[in-house]
Copies of this chain bind each other. A is one copy, B any other.
Amino acid sequence: MIAKATVGLQPAPFFLLPPSSIPPPVSIEERQQEEKAQRRRSIVDAAEAVLGRMSMENMTMADIASEARLSRSLLYVYFEDMEDIVLAVTLRGFEALAEQFEAAVQAHDAGLMQIRAVGEAYVRFAHEQPTYFDLVARFEARSADPEAATDRERACLAAADRVMTAMTDAIQNGIDDGSIRPDLDPTETATMLWGYTHGLIQLMANKETGLKQQYGINPDALIDRGLDFIGVALTGTSPHPAPNIPTEAFVAEQGKD
């Protein structure tokens, strides 16, 4: 990760600065702000590292503090409580996910392919960044109070919106280019698909071994099949000219075999 450079404000040449200075900031106050932000970042880094090796329920403030080599009290200066810190890590997770989704959309032309790629990106995300995935899942499982949201919660919701937007765009593209049936509402469908894929991937992530040994299910194959399944629904015709639902009489007839 590369820290974002301060744009449009050139620092003095390094050979004019006292040795302890850090390049970008100019005024003292500015440097103090920068240091504060840096400290905040290092706390979030520490929390992320700890979450890489233990679950959230077991993590304590002391764990984070010792990982960051700070006193526990200091964490409360920079963050409300542990929930606040965890939300900061969660925000990183959502942002990483949004980037993956946006890249997936850009990598293809046809809308249907873009949606498929988004699904595959989410599978990869869950696999390669399990810490982030767990945090995103946890956030999705929380009931979000509409108005009464923290700044940090709002930031997560905004990043989640980027995720949704990527999917909405892909669906709109698909409708425009004819690869997705036109009777779908892009926003509504994106929401549905988000719920679907999240649900399926969460199921796979958590019940993988159980499903494998109890039902003989191959997780990767199932996910593939699941994405195919969504593809069928996206291309198929509207459900309202009802499909082949047999009459009760027909079913009774079948039952005689």
Contact = CB atoms under 8 A, between A and B. Distances in A.
A29 interface: no
Nearest to A210: B144
A109 interface: yes
A233 B200 CA distance: 15
Interface stretch (A5-13, A43-51, A244-252): A244-252
Contacts of A205: 143
Contact of A222 (B192, B198, B213, B250): B192
A229 B225 contact: no
Interface in A212-238: 213-215, 217, 222, 225-226, 228-233, 235-238
Q: Is the interface of A mostly helix, strand, loop or mixed?
A: helix
B144 A177 contact: no
Interface residues of A, number: 70
A226 B176 contact: no
A178 B215 contact: no
B112 A245 contact: yes
A96 to B, nearest CB: 20
A222 B188 contact: yes
Interface in A187-212: 187-189, 191-192, 194-207, 209-211
A157 interface: yes
A232 B231 contact: no
B215 A191 contact: yes
Nearest to A238: B232
B211 A191 contact: yes
Nearest to A145: B209
Nearest to A138: B141
Nearest to A139: B206
Contacts of A235: 236, 243-244
Contact of A233 (B141, B198, B210, B229): B229
Given A191-B211, A194-B203, 9 more contacts: A110-B245, A141-B141, A144-B210, A146-B210, A189-B225, A191-B217, A192-B229, A196-B196, A236-B236
